[in-house]
Amino acid sequence: MSKSYAVAVLALLLSACGAPKPREAPQTAPAPQAPPRAAPSPPGQRYRIDTGQSELRVLVYRAGVMASLGHNHVIVNRSLGGWVTVAAPPSGAAFALTVPAADFVVDESQARSEEGADFSEAVADDAKAGTAHNMLGPAVLDAAEHPNITVRSVSIAEAGSTLQATVEIEAAGHRSQLTVPFTLERAPGRLTARSTLTVRQTALGLTPLSIMLGALRVEDALGLKVRLVAVPD
């Protein structure tokens, strides 16, 4: 392998561990609304998110003919905060979440093991650090300017045996709406909501990383796994 070719491959590997870049502006901008963290909770029984028991997990996949030069990533955040109000019927319920961008953790060994064969490959510490650095930088989450990702419920409805929430998400200055199915378990002094879904980065105003004319890129689709535990406030 020539020296110049080796340098090119090294640059490609480092780039492959980046996260998708945001668009300059979202395709459709909703009317301005108050930030979720400032919105008061509606009437109802109030709960707070239990940070110690809640988790957001993001699964990021490599793609392209040179995908073997990159990695799939498991990115976890266990610093979720916020509130929930419970009412009958469910349409009267509401919630708001805050996700500190700086608290995302990239490729914990245990988390990768739990996600199976797609994440069985070992990831070096410098690759993890590079991924985290790129993810928090101005090209992606821009954590210095936008330290929190916020999620606010717009509406909640019953959908068969599950519930369905329309939520507004603000990340890195972009606002978008998603429909999120979830299940809700009730126990004395405790609520547990779970959701597993696929979200396209472009739906969040982000552009998936693509280099070498798409020979190595990040999939538009992300896997999201959410567990929220709430206790009386």
SS (H, E, C) 41-91: CCCCEEEEECHHHCEEEEEECEECCCHHHCCCEEEEECCCEEEEEECCCHH
Residue with tokens 């126990």: 187
170 token code pair: 């603000």
Q: pLDDT tens-digit profile of 75-134?
A: 999 999 999 999 888 889 999 999 999 999 999 999 999 999 999 999 999 989 988 987
Among 49, 71, 54, 75, residue whose Cα is nearest residue 62: 71
User: Is the distance from CB of 167 to CB of 154 less than 8 angstroms?
Assistant: yes
pTM (2 decimals)? 0.78
Q: pLDDT tens-digit profile of 30-86?
A: 444 444 444 555 667 999 999 999 999 999 998 767 666 678 999 999 999 999 999
Please give the domain boundaries of the chain with CATH numbers for all domains. 33-232 (2.40.128.110)
Q: pLDDT tens-digit profile of 156-203?
A: 999 888 999 999 999 989 999 999 999 999 999 999 999 999 999 888
Element (H, E) at 181: strand 174-187
